[in-house]
């Protein structure tokens, strides 16, 4: 009986690991582009593995994201700029645009992602 109980408990512990899925965010800019579309950026947040990724950028006209024009598709790991126990996640992504260095910052409140 003790063996069965031990196997059940270990099984539950074993199968509980790794089932949390990353959160995939579609971030839409506040201002419409001159072309009439909206800029969307895609970010993946995996809190369990502490892996935060910037996945790319696209221009979308209307609300159908599947018809968006992908302008950048790459995966960049975003190192957090805030402390681990902070209530916010802050990331920065640097890149070159028009031969000038640029930086974009992202700030997420952790309480918005709690279950």
Judged against a pLDDT cut of 60, whether residue 16 lies above it is answered with no
Stronger pLDDT, 13 or 66, i.e. the higher one = 66
- Residue from 101, 78, 82 nearest 90 by CA: 82
Structural domain boundaries enclosing 101: 2-113
Could you report the per-residue pLDDT of 57-106, keeping only the tens digit for each? Answer: 888 877 677 777 777 788 888 888 877 778 888 888 888 888 889 888 88
**Contact 91/81 with Cβ under 8 angstroms?**
yes
- Reported in sequence order, the residue ranges of 38-99 that DSSP labels E, i.e. its strands, are 38-46, 51-60, 69-77, 88-97
Rounded Cα–Cα distance for residues 23 and 42 (Å): 11
Query: Any idea which of 21-25, 40-44, 60-64 has the lowest mean pLDDT?
Result: 60-64
Rounded Cα–Cα distance for residues 55 and 23 (Å): 12
Could you report the per-residue pLDDT of 45-61, keeping only the tens digit for each? Answer: 888 888 888 888 888 87
Burial of 43 (0-12, 13-18, 19+ CB in 10 A): buried
Per-residue confidence at 14, pLDDT binned at 50, 70, 90? low
| pLDDT (mean) for 22-32 | 82
Task: Point out which residues pair with 92 in neighbouring strands.
Answer: 105
Rounded Cα–Cα distance for residues 93 and 95 (Å): 7
Q: How many domains does the chain have?
A: 1
């Amino acid at each position: 009986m003790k063996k069965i109980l031990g196997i059940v408990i270990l099984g539950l512990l074993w199968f509980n690991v790794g089932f949390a899925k990353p959160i995939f965010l579609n971030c839409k800019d506040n201002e419409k582009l001159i072309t009439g579309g909206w800029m969307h950026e895609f970010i993946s947040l995996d809190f369990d593995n502490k892996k935060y990724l910037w996945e790319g950028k696209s221009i979308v006209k209307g609300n159908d994201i599947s018809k968006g024009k992908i302008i950048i598709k790459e995966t960049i790991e975003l190192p957090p700029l805030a402390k681990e126990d902070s209530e916010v996640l802050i990331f920065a992504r640097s890149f070159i645009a028009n031969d000038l260095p640029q930086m974009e910052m992202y700030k997420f409140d952790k309480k918005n992602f709690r279950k």
